[in-house]
Structure 1
Amino acid sequence: MKEILVHVGRQTIETAVMADGRLIEYDIEEAAGGKLAGNLYLGRVENVLPGMQAAFVNIGLARNAFLYIDDVLHPHLERQPKKKPSIAELLRPGQELIVQIAKEPHGGKGARVTTHYTLPGRYLVYMPHADYVAVSKKVADDRERDRLKEAGELIRQGEEGIILRTAAEGESCERLREDVEFLRELWREIEAKAAGAAAPCELHRDAGLMYRLVRDTLDAGTNRIWIDNAAAHEELRALIGSMAPSKLDCVSLYDSREKGLFEQHGVRAQLEQAYGREIRLPSGGSLVWDQTEALTVIDVNTGRYVGTTDLEETVFATNIEAAEEIARLLRLRDTGGIILIDFIDMGDERHRTQVAERLEMLARQDRTACHVLGWTRLGLMEMTRKKVRRDATLRLYEPCAACGGRGVVYAGAGRMRDGG
């Protein structure tokens, strides 16, 4: 059973997606809108650095945005030159151009931007200059994939590009055409605004959290949507009525005064457990989760789990369970970058293959681009997951002022004197 929960606070909106009572996705956003990824700006090139094949673009934020040459070249690989030119041949200081935030600013780094523009709709992603049609890998049926690709070719114009999303499965060509016409008109408005503006300025802000929830998360498998604010309940019904009218009956207002919506469904307790350094597995094993800015390392331990047959089977069962929990937590924590998993050593090569295949299958279900690269020579499982925003843990928690986020307590000089 899949349920979507929406908690509207005074300053924030929180959403949680539950599958059979387990939390699988969580997001939080300021009610006024705090998300930057997906926003479009008219920027001004400040510096061009041929040695880095990159440029820094002023888009009006505290730090200039980083624009790499691959994000300046044509979005269709077949349309790119065989020999990559110098960035200085493509951009010059003072030049104005439309850019879109692909990765939000973090720490001392500015945002990463691109000229490969994407405007997501309910059924498809519109790309004004990509010149190709693609279908979501989650659409498994070959005939349906062919039908959608054919429909995409019919409804696109000129050099437009289209990616048909999973929600497009089974939808009519006319419904897809309505989606692309809306997004095409939106892009024309963005271009018109840019033509009459002076850089740096914001041209388009991506939709708020509730809109994205309906657009990206609501699907045929959703059984119930709970929201705990009457005004927001009407707004949500209006959104669903226009985008997925068949799901209107799923929407309910939660108005209990005894217990909050998230507390009633155990969201807070599950967040506390999921965002800890050590995460217990149902069998008694555990995960130890350590994270830096670019790298996440996950260690799998058997813990109290002793199995019922032999050591190899115990290890295999723990690793399979760990793979499933890791896939869930990557989505829940919105972890991005390089991920290394130290599974417990397995002697049976078939078991190693099965663990890798299970992880790959779960990664394909992730809405964020996620790739399992396989076993390293040291026996670690290597993965990557697209990094768009700060890890959800960092959006909810601040590093401890005493230890600077290292999670240790200073023993003090007295312990050293005592021979500690």
Structure 2
Amino acid sequence: MNILVIGRGGREHCLVKKIVESPRVDTVYAAPGNAGMTEAELVSISETDVAELIRFAKTNQVAWTVVGPEVPLMNGIVNQFREAGLAIFGPTEEAARIEGSKAFAKDIMKKYDIPTAKYESFSSSDEAKTYVKDQGAPIVIKADGLAAGKGVTVATSVEEAIEAIDIIMEQSQFGDAGKEVVIEEFLEGEEFSLMAFVHGRNVYPLLPSQDHKRIFDGDTGPNTGGMGAYAPVPHLSHGVIETAIREILEPTANALEKENRSFTGILYAGCIQTQDGPKVIEFNARFGDPETEVVLPLLKNDLIQVLEDVQSGKDPQLTWKDGFCAGVVVSSAGYPGEYQKGNLLPDIKGSHSVIPIYAGVRKEDNQLVSDGGRVFLLSAQGETLEETIESIYNTLQESQVPSTFFYRRDIARKAIRTSVSGYKYTK
């Protein structure tokens, strides 16, 4: 069969690499893809040009379309593909609102007693600022809509919170996404990501993972789309993950069905383990990035078979490799602020087990050069988390990454120091 993957980043490259493993697959198309996706045939159609994507899928007898990024989902690509009689994996526009509006997601959680931080929503910046002054700091300020992972400020002072409100609402840095803000209490604890294949009330969880969102070592500096990740999470117990599935993922799937927004696709819960148990920080309506790059390589199943099973209401019986997978993102220097494009990528000189997954790249004079903020992720698997991450950092050191690029040097270090021996997650 022929498969179409929609998107251009590292998450989509990882999806392509996983799908081509299937013996049932002939050709994988990526629209628009990136120049590093040598496993796929690239199609120069934008992720948001739904009419042209439908035409392409019909012309090329595409059996399944898999949507990577959030914007096409919010714009109703699944609804339109289904109306055209095409098989597509992802939530409808109505279900995808769980990611598209943080205020909507918080209201759902409040209505159905899904554990999350206390919050208020505001469409007036003056009212938002008054609320912040009353509450004090630390406090969390979020643009309501999609902001590419950058619309969140964890403010340590009232002044910082007010500045964040100005950036979102007065300066409109995130456009329409900032017409409303959600202000939350600050939660302390260990963050983790938990994704699941969902179809209606059926929930099939993937391995837990942990992302590193801040640009600099020690979790300092501004938020990014993610500077690295690893899976599973050795310092969170099996009980914590089971509680998150039972109290967060399953009730959310049920809630969306009750609200006539039945969810099919990947439901992503960004969670935090607090003294009161796991709570939701955010929901996404698709595979996380870079979490996908460290979770999918550990999945033993044929991904296409999984999609077919899930969509037909059948348990896909997910099975996992032993050990760990980790990834370190190499970004353009200056990201998430201003950065240069067109820099020649370093020649990766590591072993065959250390694999680059490409994101912001293009070809120039038959060589890969940078074309985005997050350029590529270097991925590896190993028996222990320590040996896995060391193989990545050794490769980066041997490859002599130039100063035009930047990467964190402490991905997974905290987990290695605090891990629970003998950890193994099984559903």
Name the larger-Rg structure.
1
With normalisation by structure 2, the TM-score equals 0.24
Q: Kindly indicate whether structure 1 or structure 2 has the higher relative contact order, using CA contacts under 8 Å at least 6 residues apart.
A: 2
With normalisation by structure 1, the TM-score equals 0.25
